[in-house]
Copies of this chain bind each other. A is one copy, B any other.
Amino acid sequence: MSGNLQVGLTRVMAYGDTLNDGKVQLSFSLPVRYGPEAIEAAKQLAAKMGLEDVDVVCAHDLGGPFTFFIVYGKCRHSVDVTALSVPRIAIDSMGFDELNEFVRAHLDRKIVVVAACTGSDAHTVGIDAIMNMKGFAGEPGLERYSCFEAHNLGAQVPNETLVAEAIRLRADAVLVSQVVTQKNVHIANLTALVDLAEAEGIRDDMIFIVGGPRISHELALELGFDAGFGAGTLPCQVASFIARQVVKNAHRTDAVLPEER
């Protein structure tokens, strides 16, 4: 039935209850003392964001020079959905058995994966979800796969240690988890890791993957990683991505990681 609604994909606007009504909800605080001026300031900020018919439906006095607002309005901006290019991880997720089989068929060894929660980050639940036997949401983790040799270095691992271990274990893939993002501490830490890997000359020999609830594939690419995985990632997605990449790079990898290194 909703075929009745003719959405023009080049100028998609927010939708409340009528096509192109542009309705959005906003909330924020301003360092302005509660009162009519504060409300007016909130309106103007919303207007600058492109809202029309701005309605400050709620203003709370936060004490001191602070006011909290909830605002509704019609956003006049639109997005051209036909022109979006979303960097996507090409994961054509394989099942557990299928994947083990795939690796056995294409590679004569296990894939070595080294993972850690680096920097000051101690949130291991996410990386454990990917690595541990137990896995996540009913999906087994990498440790359970016969095709992987999985090393989980745990929490608060310095980048130096991770890189050293990756070299020592001749890793195919390095997995980094970053959960704390306050003041962009993860950006600094991830950039440092890539720099270090480059300095050690291993950046192109291994797959570098980063994950965490605030990580997107796009951001990962920007920072020089091969892939980024966000909230709700399943171990099989990561496993499939790694396996396909490793198989693809198999020859080259063999060449650049000779026995004597």
Residues of chain A having any CB pair with chain B under 8 Å = 2, 5, 7, 12-16, 19, 23-32, 36-37, 39-41, 44-45, 48-50, 55, 64-66, 75, 77-79, 81, 84, 86, 88, 214
Contacts and interface: CB of A to CB of B under 8 A. Distances in A.
Contacts of A29: 14-16
Contacts of A66: 15
Given A25-B26, A30-B14, A65-B7, A49 B36 contact: no
29 contacts: A2-B65, A5-B31, A5-B65, A7-B65, A12-B30, A12-B32, A14-B30, A15-B28, A15-B31, A15-B66, A16-B29, A23-B28, A24-B27, A25-B27, A28-B75, A30-B79, A36-B88, A37-B81, A37-B84, A37-B86, A39-B86, A41-B79, A41-B81, A41-B84, A45-B77, A48-B77, A48-B79, A49-B49, A49-B77
A86 B30 contact: no
This chain: copies in complex: 2
A26 B25 CA distance: 6
B12 A31 contact: yes
A116 B32 CA distance: 37
B31 A28 contact: no
B15 A79 contact: no
A2 B64 CA distance: 7
A28 B27 CA distance: 12
The list of the 3 closest CB pairs from A to B, nearest first, reads A48-B77, A24-B28, A14-B28
A79 B24 contact: no
Contacts of A16: 29
A23 B182 CA distance: 13
A31 B19 CA distance: 8
A32 B80 CA distance: 11
Contact of A49 (B25, B30, B50): B50
Contacts of A84: 37, 40-41, 44
A14 B62 CA distance: 14
A36 B23 CA distance: 22
